[in-house]
Amino acid sequence: MSVGKAVGSFVTVAAILARATAYGVRAALTKRAVERLEKRYHDRADSARYLSEAMGKLKVDEPTTTAYMEVSTLSEAMAANVAGIVGRADSLQANAQGLSEATEAEHGRMRDANRTHTVQMAQAKFIQPR
């Protein structure tokens, strides 16, 4: 399995670190998107409940008011389901952050060593497999 950008068939340390950081960013974006989805379901439930109650006061037929209340109930149920996904998105974000930190701890020292070494490095075409 290939990870990140490679020079020839070698994976670069910078690519590994960038990929680990990208996982964290994607996890955070996913969590925010799921949180927005949960809010939309709550908003729709509130709206449907308000309409059902208003129609009841205006003496609109019962099947219509009941249908709106059912939409409200189902929207709240969907919001609760999405809340479970938000919890899992929290875990995903925490795991991605841990991955990024572990990768930085493990491979960051190689990057730092490559930046500060005094030995001349071989040219890329010299170290490519034949």
Residue that wins the pLDDT comparison between 37 and 14 = 37
Residue 8: DSSP 8-state: T
What pLDDT, in 10s, does the model give residues 73-92?
999 999 999 988 888 888 88
Residue that wins the pLDDT comparison between 9 and 99 = 99
Residue ranges covered by each domain of the chain: 6-108
What pLDDT, in 10s, does the model give residues 93-109?
888 888 888 877 877 77
- How confident is the prediction for the chain on average, in pLDDT? 82
Residue that wins the pLDDT comparison between 89 and 45 = 45
Residue that wins the pLDDT comparison between 23 and 14 = 23
How would you class 113 by CB atoms within 10 Å of its CB: exposed for 0-12, middle for 13-18, buried for 19 or more? exposed
Axis-axis angle for helices 13-57, 62-116 (nearest 10): 170
Q: How confident is the model at residue 6 (pLDDT cuts 50, 70, 90)?
A: very low
Residue that wins the pLDDT comparison between 98 and 129 = 98
**pLDDT of 3 higher than 50:** no
Q: In the chain, what is the greatest distance between 2 CA atoms, to the nearest angstrom?
A: 86
Residue that wins the pLDDT comparison between 14 and 24 = 24
DSSP string, 56-81: HHTT--HHHHHHHHHHHHHHHHHHHH
Answer positive or negative: Cα dihedral of 55, 56, 58, 64: positive
Give the pTM.
0.64
Which residue from 37, 43, 41 is spatially nearest to 86, judged by alpha carbons?
37
